[in-house]
Amino acid sequence: MDHVVLNAQKRANTGSAEAARLRRSGKIPAVVYGRSGKAMPIVLDALEFGRKTKGISESTLLNLSVDGSQHEVFIKDTQRDIFKGAFLHVDFYEVEKGKALHAKVPVHVVGTAQGVREGGVLEAPLHELEIECLPKDLPEHIDVDVSNLKGNESIHVRDLKLASGIKILTNPEQVVALVKFAKAEVASESAEAAPATPAAEAPKA
């Protein structure tokens, strides 16, 4: 997938009054934070930002062009108007090319488990996977196919196969997905399988 490209300009003036003025003119005040913690105030076009970032996650690597200077960034935080939904402020985190980074990537369970087709219930307790990789290798999400998962079987982090260059930091014993059968169903099957107990004879007089 091609990286999203956003255009921005540096801004010399800061403060609440300037931020309000920018918003009225269809702009979004924003800040780019570097690995050293140094901050660069910028301004974004509200329409472009809303259109180009729709549906992306915090693990999506973006190309930010600030007055023609290129920066690889992630969205660190956004503030929105609680009534109108408009973006009020955006924080970016700049990554350093060629240096590995730590990130938490969403886990998406795909497919219908065989155990579910047989009446079981799928549980997927892991929502994020912590990984280490170069910025260019960072996936937006990780798909876990559960189609072949049978009843009372599970998939652990250790079972995941990721692309070369991606190191998993999450506990390998963590459960990603499992299929369980309802207790009532198990109890019913056990009762049906158990041999009938003969009734006790009445004592003879």
Q: What is the pLDDT of residue 202?
A: 47
pLDDT at res. 140: 87
CA distances from 9 to 29, 54, 65, 76 (A): 10, 21, 8, 18
pLDDT at position 188, please?
52
Task: Quote the CA–CA distance of 71 and 92 in Å, as a whole number.
Answer: 10
pLDDT for 58: 79
Which residues have a Cβ under 8 Å from the Cβ of 49 and sit 6 or more positions away?
6, 28, 87, 90
Burial of residue 188, with CB atoms counted within 10 A of its CB: 0-12 exposed, 13-18 middle, 19 or more buried: exposed
pTM > 0.85: no
pLDDT at 190: 52
In this prediction, residue 97 carries a pLDDT of: 81
Give me the domains of the chain, ranges plus CATH numbers. Answer: 4-94 (2.40.240.10), 101-191 (2.170.120.20)
Q: What is the residue type of 157?
A: V
The rounded average pLDDT for each run of 10 residues, N- to C-terminus, in the chain (205 residues) is 85 92 96 87 97 87 94 93 94 90 93 96 96 91 96 97 95 97 58 54 49
